[in-house]
Amino acid sequence: MKNGFGNAITLTLFGESHGPAIGAVLDGLAPGIKIEEERIRHQLSLRRPQGRISTARQEADPFEIISGVFNGFTTGTPLCITIPNSAQHSKDYSATRAKARPGHADYSAYCKYHGFEDYRGGGHFSGRITAALVAAGAILLSALEQKGIYIGTHMSSCAGVEDRPFEDYKKDIAFLSEQVFPVLSEDSACKMREKIEKAADEGDSVGGILETAVIGLPAGLGEPWFDSVESLLSHGLFSIPGVKGVSFGAGFDFAAMKGSEANDSFCYEKERVMTATNHNGGINGGITNGMPLLFKTAVKPTPSIYKEQKTIDFIKEENTSLQIQGRHDPCIVHRARVVVDSLCALVIADLLTGRFGTDYWGEKA
């Protein structure tokens, strides 16, 4: 059983949705990285539920760093951060223990762990575990920003409503970093909220697409084959609960283009290598080219809905039906934004450490 990810910098997640606590271990961090606890609190706040468009489960997330930090800086040893669970309603799941919730991992988890898994709230499969990822990611986001590298994600679309694309990357990323509902157009934000609330009223849910931009990356990160930037990011992003699609640059729109339309022409601008367009999303041959790194992440509608659905009882081995109870999100796209940012920060920090070594983090930007 493996719950770790990364090469030079690794992340291990632990805990269950209804257990006493969840947490993360970051290993491979350079010594001397400043820990900004207020930034960790802020990032966790971006993941929290928001009224009618989110679950009613509220967690304060009072994290504790129990190793790897001394006098406000990393020591270079494994950093462990824990977050207690405090709002579990485990009884919501006891009556449906053997009923496979459509879209969930109940049946596949039962097959893998032979019935020993903690099924309450999805256990280790739960989106609750992403809080630990966000806490760890906040440390890496701060470290990257000290090197002039910024990451931002917005809801490109949700429930059929489109947001405007990135324009001024630095300005848009700064704006998004303060938004609990990460949309660049106010009009789009209002329409998305209306669609989410309508789905909630109907006992249903909606999905959407997140678009992420990373600016300030040096050219030359990544490998041409199995550790390409696309490969590593996709590996991490597909580990986020609910993610079902990842594309880079123009993505699937390439299929309708000609080569003359898809190619990004190179040029020098003030002695810096640039491309006239960025259809390839800042990556050529699996390696960054210095342009903004762009990718999109598709998030499926939340599988926990209040409509009656057909399913199976995998212990009795019979067909049945299910109508779930409890507290669930009609949409997780807005909450998933900060999870994507955090995972992206891990991959980028790992790539930079692998290329330049741990001393990179002690150098000035």
What is the rounded CA–CA span in Å between residue 203 and residue 211? 27
CA-atom Rg of the chain in angstroms = 21
What are the distances in angstroms from CA 60 to CA 47, 190, 251? 11, 27, 38
Order across the sheet with 10-15: list the strands: 4-5, 10-15, 21-27, 79-84, 64-67
The two structure tokens encoding residue 95? 């009556």
Q: Which fold has domain 4-362?
A: Chorismate synthase, AroC fold (3.60.150)
Please state the domain extents for the chain: 4-362
- Of 177, 256, 218, residue with least CA distance to 354: 218
**pTM for this model (two decimals):** 0.93
Each residue's pLDDT expressed in tens, for the chain with a length of 365 residues: 678 999 999 999 999 988 889 999 999 999 999 999 999 999 999 998 776 776 655 667 889 999 999 999 999 999 999 999 986 555 556 667 888 888 888 898 889 988 888 888 787 888 888 999 999 999 999 999 999 999 999 999 999 999 999 999 999 999 999 999 999 999 999 999 999 999 999 999 999 999 999 999 999 999 999 999 999 999 999 999 999 999 999 999 999 999 999 999 999 998 899 999 999 999 999 999 999 999 999 999 998 888 899 999 999 999 999 888 776 789 999 999 999 999 999 999 999 999 999 989 986 54
Q: Which amino acid is at 60?
A: A
- CA geometry: angle 197, 202, 204, nearest 5 deg: 85
